[in-house]
């Protein structure tokens, strides 16, 4: 069955880089878009960006200058990297499948604090 | 950016009653392919969002037929026919027409 699971650090210091991995099973990354969405107390659900089945990416301009999405199809993994973290980046980060977000991971809570 | 505005519910709602959740977009979500790029999600307490409806009115796989979506290009409704305890949570609409994709602020459903 389709499964997605995010893994990442629970705590990141301000100005540092966040790295989250989404490991999927039950489908191929070469057949589906993979999305990243975060949920913060300040802004609710925010779309961050996606990587297409062909490997190209699209980003929310809100994050574009500091966000990178990539993947390793051989490992069934999608990666989110965001630099220059601020306290406002504290929240839950989700990966989701497909253009219409049909499956979501459990999310990973990230706290940005010194 | 397209702004998504959701209405509130008169919580708590009696079990078995039908409710309609509204969502309005600042721009028509009807695309030239004839599809309206509006999705609905439910986030139960402590869980991730789950897809209920896509393309405004198409139920996602495994979703109860108590859930139905309708609307025009800018005004949308999610109807729940006969609310049950498992329907408790926050409902979100989301537009998939333009980047950046945007979500509404959510509508909370509580059941009496």
Q: How many CB atoms lie within 10 A of CB A58?
A: 16
Q: Span B4-32, mean pLDDT?
A: 96
Q: Span B33-60, mean pLDDT?
A: 97
Indicate whether A65 pLDDT > 90.
Answer: no
Q: Which of A26, A27, A42, A45 to mutate to test the interface with B (most CBs of B within 10 A)?
A: A45
Three-state secondary structure call for residue A89: helix
CB contact under 8 A, B100 and A62: yes
Q: Span A58-80, mean pLDDT?
A: 95
Q: What sign for the dihedral angle of Cα B56, B61, B63, B64?
A: positive
R_g over Cα of chain A: 13
CB contact under 8 A, A101 and B41: yes
pLDDT in tens, B59-97: 999 999 999 999 999 999 999 999 999 999 999 999 999
- Pick A94's closest partner by Cβ from B48, B94, B102: B48
């Amino acid at each position: 069955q389709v499964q997605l699971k995010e893994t990442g650090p629970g705590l990141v210091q301000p100005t540092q880089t966040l790295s989250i991995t989404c490991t999927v099973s039950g489908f191929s990354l070469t057949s589906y878009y993979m999305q990243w969405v975060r949920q913060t107390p300040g802004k609710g659900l925010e779309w961050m960006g996606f990587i297409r089945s062909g490997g190209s990416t699209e980003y929310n301009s809100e994050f574009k200058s500091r966000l990178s999405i990539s993947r390793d199809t051989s490992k069934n993994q999608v990666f989110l990297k965001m630099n220059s973290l601020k306290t406002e980046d504290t929240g839950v980060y989700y990966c989701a499948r497909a253009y219409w977000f049909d499956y979501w991971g459990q999310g990973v809570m990230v706290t940005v604090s010194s | 950016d397209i702004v998504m505005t959701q209405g509130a519910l008169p919580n708590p709602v009696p079990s078995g009653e039908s409710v309609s959740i509204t969502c309005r977009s600042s721009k028509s979500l009807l695309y030239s392919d004839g599809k309206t790029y509006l999705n609905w999600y439910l986030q139960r307490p402590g869980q991730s969002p789950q897809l209920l409806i896509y393309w405004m009115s198409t139920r996602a796989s495994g979703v109860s037929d108590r859930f139905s979506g309708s609307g025009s290009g800018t005004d949308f409704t999610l109807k729940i026919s006969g609310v049950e305890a498992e329907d408790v949570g926050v409902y979100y609409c989301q537009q998939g027409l333009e980047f950046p994709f945007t979500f509404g602020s959510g509508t909370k459903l509580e059941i009496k």
